[in-house]
Structure 1
Amino acid sequence: MTMTRTGRPNLGKTIKAVMRDAARRLPEFAHIDASRILIVAGEARRASRATVRPMCFADSRTRFSLDGKRAKPIVQLRGTQMLYVVAFRPRFFMRSTPEQRVETILHELWHMAQEFDGTLHRARRHAVLPGQRFHDVFQPLVKRYLSAVPPKLLAALAFHGEGIMRHWLERPAPFFHVDGRNPSKPARRPIFTEAQLFYGPVKMITPDAWRH
């Protein structure tokens, strides 16, 4: 786990390390390029532990909708355009076990398209695989990875205390409408970079039996 100058671990880097390791170990995730995924801390949303946002439209597989009326913002870090933004929510950090945190990370990766083109996998939506069907398909994958995950990574997800993660200083909208009269001048900010992000504290609360 990467520690900052203040001694607080960078939890975003820990999550990225799990993503990279899963991509190496599981053929189902071989298409995942963690360098094109932005990890941020998100606000609470009911029972959700995390949410993945695709940065391209499903109909066109580009950042412009097929009818040309909508556009998704560009999110780039160090000049590299992100294809997905994954927000990890309070339930991920609070009273979850390391294994549950691994499952959440894999869950979000599993929703990403096999082409890894900034869209979501159409056959892996909860609407297509509701309830028990989703569980039956996804859980064997989780078990396989948990049997192979390096103890060091699992221990990093068992951290208890205050870490840091990226947060939005200004969060991009899911999309904006393109002005037909002047498409080069969108109504909202079209590009988001490090200037719209900051590192802030996130508290990890891990049950006693799993703490490191």
Structure 2
Amino acid sequence: MPTPPPSDRSGRGRPRNPQTHEAILGAARDLLRSQGYARFSIERVAADAGVSKASIYRRWPTKGALLLDLYMAGLPSDAIAADAPSLRDELHRYLLATIRRVNDEGWREILRSLVAEAQYDEGTARLMQDKVIRPRREAGLRLLHSAQRRKEIAADGDLELILDMLFGPLWYRLLFDHAPIDEDFASRLLELVLHALKSPRRAKG
């Protein structure tokens, strides 16, 4: 006889059942891996987890919020260590860590699904800005400012654009899958970004 799904009958103010929470996350992760974003829904997650839709909505008010939690699971709070002593070493570490994650098919599908949901849902887009994009860009800027103070890079670089150069190719290859995301890609991207950081800006006129 199969084991019944964990109960979520918690009274008001009492903590929710952590087993139910994990069952929902596991069902959502498995559904994305097997069916992809196109067939992902709260209804199907609830059915696979053996819980009610209300049980999911008590924890995640939208599908985007659930996708964001799947994305954030196991992810460090700061992808870039802003206080790292070496710009090159830290960027290289970040790129390699990112490559390891995006080459996990399950995690890659979660990220693609989150991006897709953010295109149609403003709440998900705001969550991505607040929880994913802004914290990582802020950490990246702090790292670049520290490198400027150490005179590792030029003092007049366009740091916001440099961050776009660093993050942009990763997202482009992830979303369109036109070229590999591997260590060779990371090394070439790093050299390109460091060259841009050290090259003096041309004088106007």
- Is the TM value for this pair above 0.5? no
Q: Provide TM-score, normalisation by structure 1.
A: 0.26
In terms of Rg, which structure is larger? 2
Q: TM-score, normalised by structure 2?
A: 0.27
Structure with the bigger RCO (C-alpha within 8 Å, sep 6+) is: 1
Greater helix share, 1 or 2?
2
